[in-house]
Amino acid sequence: MAHCRFCNAPLTETFADLGMSPVSNDYVSERNHNAAEVFYPLHAYVCASCLLVQLVDYEKPDALFTDDYAYFSSYSSSWLEHARRYSLTVLEKERLGPDSMVVEVASNDGYLLKNFKEAGIPVLGVEPTANTAAAALQNHGIESEVAFFGRETAERLRERGVRPDVIAANNVLAHVPDINDFVAGYAILLKPKGVAHFEFPHLLRMMEKVQFDTIYHEHFSYLSFTVARKIFAAHGLRVYDVEELPTHGGSIRIYVAHADCVDRPDTDRVAMMLAAEDDFGLNDLSAYRDFARRVVETKVSLLKFFVEAFEAGKSVVGYGAPAKGNTLLNYCGVKTDMMSFTVDKSPHKIGKRLPGTHIPICAPEEIRSRKPDYVLILPWNLREEIIEQMADVREWGGKFVTPIPTIQIFD
């Protein structure tokens, strides 16, 4: 029996069982598209004791986050703008200067730290994937510690004199299998009066909008604010503030300090968020049990769209090759007979195929060449950005489609 990665209680309650699925970022090269793939159970549980939603570990992190990792943050203009605005706010609020230091955990290709570097602030990235760390150095001159973050990495950096005023951690808290070791590292590395910022998709919004496609093997945990506070408190850290963000379909940013840091008292927003989650039912197992039924309803909605499009002789292609799209397509059984190709801006994905479904990934120009009737936006959180980029689809009567929480068609 599997056990909770935070409190070690047995996992017995199903949150969503999405069947067997390949690793979502394990894109298939053209020469290997007829080779066998490894599929793992994509079964999310909710811990009946602490209410942490989580996957069971079937693959080690170094096999998921490899040296040819396909996700580069800099290929989304809206995400770059989000990072820029965040950086400006932190620079002003924390009164950072040349004697300060900012560390980002899961710094990827330097998309965020470049803003602090340009402002004259010393920076350091911590990034386990060597290819994205190399891009950060080549494109922005940002040094990275190529390692997974946790107690050992934090102690090594501290011995080298690294003591950040600010630690940023965007969309990484969910990616760590040993969440206790990961969080403990912040207590070791952070300055006594420093702050750590964590952004992650909010479980409340995920459940509210049936965003089951954000469940994939690289995401080990799915966090509410209530549970996140418990985890940090267990390691001598205190979540003293929170704000809601529109990114990734609804995220939160939490502000974390050492538990004994009197300079950062709890804000009113902490109590308000705890109350909002309680009102939604996140402290009651019945809300989690109901989620599985709603997932099936979303699947039926998507398949109904594809069947009706096929019967009407309409063509459907995809836009984007995100990990969430791979969960969606594999769970729903959508393959090349329903969607002939998808497109992506990233040159690291173009020319490959989606894992599991083996749908080809082309450059965006292929949509303009083929003129399909429907464009299914797989990174639905970037809907507005993509519709603006591909506005000429409407010139031949094409329509945009988003799949979550149910099918929506945009003329």
Place of tokens 């969960």: 327
128-135 LR contacts (CB < 8 Å, sep 24+) = 128/61, 128/62, 128/65, 129/65, 129/66, 129/67, 129/69, 130/67, 131/67, 131/68, 131/69, 132/69, 132/71, 132/72, 132/107, 132/108, 133/107, 135/72, 135/74, 135/109, 135/110
Q: 31 or 305, which is more confident? A: 305
Give pLDDT tens digits for 234-249: 999 999 999 999 988 8
Q: For residues 358 and 336, what is the distance between their CA atoms, to the nearest angstrom?
A: 7
SS3 326: helix
Compute the C-alpha angle 141/72/321, nearest 5°. 165
pLDDT digits (tens, 9 = 90+) for 303-359: 999 999 999 999 999 999 999 999 999 999 999 999 999 999 999 899 999 999 999
pLDDT in tens, 50-69: 999 999 987 655 555 555 55
Evaluate if residue 285 carries a pLDDT over 70: yes
The stretch 29-39 carries a mean pLDDT of: 89
Angle formed at CA 211 by CA 206 and CA 213, multiple of 5 degrees: 130
**Residue 1: what pLDDT?**
77
pLDDT band at 98 (very low <50, low <70, confident <90, very high): very high
% of the chain surpassing 70 pLDDT: 96
Whether 72 shows a pLDDT value over 70: the answer reads no
Do the two domains 73-285 and 304-410 of this chain adopt the same fold? yes
**Distance between CA atoms of residues 252 and 205, nearest Å:** 10
CATH number given to 304-410: 3.40.50.720
Instruction: Sketch the domain layout of the chain as residue ranges.
Output: 13-57, 73-285, 304-410
The phi, psi pair for 201, rounded to 5°, reads -55, 135
What CATH number has the domain spanning 73-285? 3.40.50.150
Instruction: Dump pLDDT digits (tens) for 174-205.
Output: 999 999 999 999 999 999 999 999 999 999 99
Average pLDDT, the chain: 94
Per-residue pLDDT band for 75 (boundaries 50, 70, 90) equals low
The Cα 119–Cα 87 span in angstroms is 10
Mean pLDDT, residues 21-29 taken together: 92
pLDDT at 71: 61
Please report, rounded to a whole number, the percentage of residues in the chain having pLDDT higher than 90. Answer: 88
User: In 3D, which of 230, 244, 165 has the Cα closest to residue 202?
Assistant: 244
DSSP string, 330-397: HHHT--TTT---EE-S-TTTTTSB-TTT--BEE-THHHHHH--SEEEESSGGGHHHHHHHTGGGGGGT
